[in-house]
């Protein structure tokens, strides 16, 4: 297992390096650099002024040199005034030094946010914390409810309970977040008037039940149906196994057979599905946070993309890749621990 984890960590590092190179190339295409220069100067700036700004701040350096500076394996250069030759910080509001130094991702420096005028870490860390709270409550609602629905439906295949829960699960799975979010807003906020606060105040006034309910419900409702369907299918398959029939013939009650023999084996497949919900949650987070103005990771990612905030966008992309690869690793390890046959192999 240890050698497997070490190999996977090596593959993860290589994958992150390759993907970061691709994202760095796409973000630093010429139209994006022009938009960045315009946002930092003025819409009426001449082409010469824009080019001068890009040249002065190092955006005209060799592509691989800039990528190495972002990683932190090459020294990051300050801004040089072409007329006086005086070195100055590239972005004064981030307190960058006026001398060359190694300062990149490997040193914990993710750059400067040109949209929010602060270091990237200062903006990204609180956003990740806010999204972490949101995702925790989504999982706390989604996982127990979906497992319960799936187990109840799969215990007695073809029963009225099974058909009713299956129809409900399919309905929720077929409803995307931007549809359920609008429905919940209309029903709970407009018609019933239960939610007087909006999700936009969640990060400003503290997370409360009222201003946090709609985003959690919107994200959980889709995942509940999907995980419940997977749990039901796994439970149905387990209940038809020979050892379940043998346990029933020995006189064990139906509930004892389900709890002691069927449940653990039935939860192997749903565990993998649950862990793979985290990459999906990143997509759902973007939609939900923008819809409800919840200022977390998804909201920050959209703001960075809309304003061509290169360093912040690169940091968000790196976090996204890390979350996807980490959850896949945890999923594989958990699957091996739950399934003795995989562990032996």
- pLDDT(201) > 50: no
In this model, does residue 25 exceed pLDDT 60? yes
pLDDT category at 277 given cuts 50, 70, 90 is confident
Say which range, 12-16, 105-109, 183-187, 275-279, has the weakest mean pLDDT: 275-279
Structure confidence at residue 196 as a pLDDT band (50, 70, 90)? low
Q: pTM here?
A: 0.78
* Whole-number percent of the chain with pLDDT over 90: 5
Q: Span 88-95, mean pLDDT?
A: 74
Report whether pLDDT(207) > 70: no
Residue 80, classed as helix, strand or coil, is: strand
pLDDT above 50 for 203: no
pLDDT digits (tens, 9 = 90+) for 99-118: 777 888 888 888 888 888 88
Return the closest-CA partner of residue 134 out of 294, 291, 271, 290: 294
| Res. 197: pLDDT tops 50 | no
Q: What is the arithmetic mean of pLDDT over 248-271?
A: 74
What confidence score (pLDDT) does residue 204 get?
47
Give the pLDDT of residue 342: 56
Task: Check whether 234 has a pLDDT greater than 60.
Answer: yes
Q: What string of DSSP letters covers 140-180? A: HHHHHHHHHHHHHHHHTTTSHHHHHHHHHHHHHHTS-HHHH
Rounded Cα distance between 190 and 210, Å, is 14
Count CA atoms closer than 13 A to 215's CA, side-chain side: 37
Confidence at 53, pLDDT banded by 50, 70, 90: confident
Model confidence pLDDT, tens digit, residues 117-164: 889 989 999 988 888 888 888 889 988 898 888 888 887 788 888 888
Phi, psi of 118 (to 5 degrees): -140, 165
- The end-to-end CA distance of the chain, in Å, is 10
CA 202 distance to own-chain centroid: 19
210 and 197 in contact (C-beta within 8 Å)? yes
Q: How far is it, in rounded angstroms, from Cα 186 to Cα 291?
A: 13
Q: What is the pLDDT of residue 216?
A: 87
**What separation in angstroms does the CA of 141 have from each of 138, 153, 175?**
5, 18, 18
């Amino acid at each position: 297992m240890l050698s497997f984890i070490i190999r996977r960590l090596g593959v993860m590092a290589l994958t992150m390096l390759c993907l970061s190179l691709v994202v760095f190339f796409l973000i630093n295409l010429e139209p994006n650099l022009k938009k960045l220069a315009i946002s930092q100067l003025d819409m009426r700036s001449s082409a010469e002024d824009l080019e001068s700004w890009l040249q002065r701040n190092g955006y005209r350096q060799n592509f691989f040199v800039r990528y190495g500076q972002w990683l932190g394996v090459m020294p990051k250069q300050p801004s040089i005034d072409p007329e006086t030759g005086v070195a100055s910080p590239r972005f004064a509001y981030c307190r960058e030094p006026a001398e060359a130094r190694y300062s990149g991702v490997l040193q914990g420096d993710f750059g400067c946010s040109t949209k929010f005028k602060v270091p990237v870490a200062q903006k990204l860390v609180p956003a990740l914390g806010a999204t972490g709270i949101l995702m925790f409550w989504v999982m706390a609602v989604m996982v127990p409810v979906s497992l319960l629905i799936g187990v109840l439906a799969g215990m007695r295949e073809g029963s009225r309970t099974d058909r009713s829960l299956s129809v409900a699960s399919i309905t929720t799975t077929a409803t995307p977040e931007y549809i359920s979010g609008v429905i919940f807003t209309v029903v709970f906020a407009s018609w019933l008037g239960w939610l007087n606060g909006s999700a936009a105040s969640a990060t400003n006034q503290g997370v409360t039940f009222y201003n946090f309910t709609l985003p959690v419900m919107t994200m959980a409702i889709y995942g509940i149906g999907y995980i419940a369907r997977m749990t039901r299918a796994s439970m149905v398959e387990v209940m038809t196994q020979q050892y379940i029939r043998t346990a029933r013939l020995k006189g064990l009650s139906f509930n004892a057979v389900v709890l002691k023999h069927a449940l653990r084996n039935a939860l192997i497949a749903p565990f993998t599905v649950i862990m793979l919900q985290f990459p999906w949650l990143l997509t759902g987070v973007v939609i939900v946070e923008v819809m409800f103005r919840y200022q977390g990771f998804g909201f920050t990612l959209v703001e960075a993309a809309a304003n061509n905030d290169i360093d912040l966008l690169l940091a968000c992309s790196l976090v996204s890749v890390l979350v996807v690869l980490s959850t896949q690793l945890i999923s594989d390890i958990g699957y091996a621990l739950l399934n003795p046959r995989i562990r032996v192999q």
